[in-house]
Amino acid sequence: MAKDSKSIILETIESRGQARPQDLVEILGITRAAVHRHLKNLVAQDLLQKMGSPPQVFYRRKAPPLLTTDYKELPEDLSSFLENRYLYISPEGHLLIGVQGFVDWATRTQQIHKLLPLAMEYQKVRLEADSHFDGGLWIDATHKFQTTFNKVFLKQIFYEDFYSLPKFGRTKKGQLVLHGKQAQKKPIIKQVIESSRPILKALLKKLKIEAVAWVPHSIPREVPFLKEYRKGLRIALPEVELVKAYAGEVPVAQKSLSKLEERIVNAESSFFLKEIDYNYKRILLIDDAVGSGATLNEIAKKIKKGTQVKEVYGFAIVGSLKGFEVLLEI
């Protein structure tokens, strides 16, 4: 009895490890439209996984589920907490929210045998981090800047959240910022925009901000994170325009520098004001992530020295409050 097209597709991919639609058209001798119908059905049945996007699309056998434990092991209130506060991005690039993400992470890190105490520990660590929030909306990191730099040129500095937590790594917001930048995916950036909007609105009002300034990216990207973030927020205030310029032949990103002193030199020598005829009293300087804090502090120094601006405040979507660990990934 002749094998049907679906069986041939599965056997072909099983033996080769992968197949492109055009490969299957040649093997089966049927139309491209018919091949795509079969592939769509096999993906819907969880038998195949689609990888990539046109023109580079591949299909492979769907890997068995990684999850090995029953969610019922977790109390309802703890599960609810994870659903709201946890996000894991798998090595394959899947955004796994809440309990599913936590179980996946625990499995991959070979800690699934202690899921309940691990989840309880995560809740404790997250709540301890939450205690640093000022009024529940943002983290005031001004004191940390004052203990890091000899002179701080920012009036105050605020984070929307921490970048990472002890033992558990990147926070939900940290994951979205990192992968929004690296993957350059607008839907991910949109999630960050939606969570930031009410926070920035309240902060702008509280500080009586008259203008904003956006930290330029060091390395050009096809979908610049802060450009999309800026466009999505639609802050109806004038802007102090900043530019990035290099003295040397090689553009050096802050993330590539591990020492605070190097980051200070890099920021001082590469960020510039496009114009200097600004006369605002209070401006807000916005960045996506703060590692050492050198970029924000040096830009604030230039703004205060080169314009009539009286007070410069800083805001970052994510940052490190304790120790100011240098963020090498962003």
Residue 82 within a domain? yes
- Rounded to an integer, the average pLDDT of 75-87 is 96
Q: Say if residue 197's pLDDT is above 60.
A: yes
Looking at per-residue pLDDT, the higher value among 9 and 307 belongs to 9
**Is 169 within 8 Å of 109 (Cβ atoms)?**
no
pLDDT at 187 over 70: yes
> Is 80 exceeded by the pLDDT of residue 66?
no
What is the reported pLDDT for 308? 87
Helix (H) or strand (E) holding 164: strand 164-165
Quick one: 57 and 195 in the same domain? no
pLDDT at 326 (0 to 100)? 43
Tell me which residue range forms the domain holding 81: 71-130
Three-state DSSP at 302 gives: helix
Number of folded domains in the chain?
3
* Residue 213 lies inside a defined structural domain of this protein: yes
| 121/203 same-domain check | no
Tens of pLDDT, residues 101-115:
999 999 999 999 999
Question: Is there a single domain that holds both residue 114 and residue 140?
Answer: no
pTM of the model: 0.80
The string of pLDDT tens digits covering residues 254-305 is: 666 778 788 888 888 878 888 878 889 999 999 999 988 999 999 999 999 8
CA–CA distance from 244 to each of 66, 141, 211, 218 (Å)? 44, 25, 20, 7
Do both 47 and 104 map to the same domain? no
Going by pLDDT thresholds of 50, 70 and 90, the confidence category of residue 79 is very high
